[in-house]
Amino acid sequence: MRYVIFCVSALILQSCSTTILVFENEPPDNDNVFNYDQVNSRLEKTMCTVILLDGVAYNACNIHVGRDTTTFLEVDTSVEHSVGTRELSTIQHKDHFRGALSGTWIGLFSSIAASAGALILMPPGSPLGRTSGGAFVVYMAGLGTVTGFCFGAIAGGTQEYRFCNPAKDPPAVKK
C-alpha cells in the first residue's frame, strides 16, 4: 500500500507545470517572463503542443513566434501552419529529463520519510529493530530514488509558455 501511495503522489507532483508568461517586447527582470526571441531560442528544435485561443491544439515542431504571425510544422500531418501570434494561447513543452530529475528528489525524500515513519510506528521486538533500521531507511531511499526517477522520466515535466495580449493582460509592475 505504501508503494501505491508513493507512486500516485509522484505522478500527481509530476503533473505540476512551470508557467512562463510571454510578451512581445523586452520583459522585466523576471525568470518567468520571456519575449518572443527567448521563446524561439528555447523551442527551436523541440516537440511541443501549440494551443490556440479557440482551443484547437496541434502537436508541432519548428515553431517560430513572430510579432504578427507564428509558424509551425504540425507533426501529425506534416502541414506547415501560419497563425496570428495574437491567436496563441499557450505552447506546452514536455521535458522528460526535467521530470526525471524532479522525480528523483521526490522519490528520495518521500521514501526516507515513509521508511522513517514506518520504523517509528513498528512495535518493539519487530524484525526491523534498532540494529537494522538504518539499513532499511537506506534501502528504501535507494528504491524510492530509482522509482521516482523512472516515474518522473515517463511522466515528464511540463513547461507552459502562456502568451499575453498587452491590451488585456498588462505586465505586472514592480513595486
Q: Determine the Cα–Cα distance for residues 175 and 164; give it in Å rounded to an integer.
A: 21
Residues 142 and 149 sit within 8 Å (Cβ to Cβ): no
C-alpha cell at 23: 510578451
pLDDT at 38: 87
Mind listing the domains of the chain with CATH numbers?
A: 2-6+97-155 (no CATH), 17-95+157-163 (2.30.30)
Give the C-alpha separation, 43 to 160, whole Å.
11
**136/138 Cα distance (integer angstroms):** 5
Global pTM reads 0.64
Q: Cβ distance 102 to 145 under 8 Å?
A: no
Q: How far apart are CA 108 and CA 159, in angstroms?
A: 23
Angle at 91 between CA 164 and CA 159, to 5 degrees: 100
pLDDT tens sequence for the chain (175 residues)? 555 555 555 555 544 568 888 888 766 667 778 888 888 888 888 899 999 999 999 999 999 999 899 999 999 898 999 999 889 999 998 888 878 888 888 888 888 888 777 777 776 666 665 556 677 778 888 888 888 888 888 887 888 889 886 555 555 544 4
Q: How high is the pLDDT of residue 2? A: 58
Q: Where are the alpha helices (DSSP H) in the chain?
A: 2-14, 36-42, 96-121, 133-155
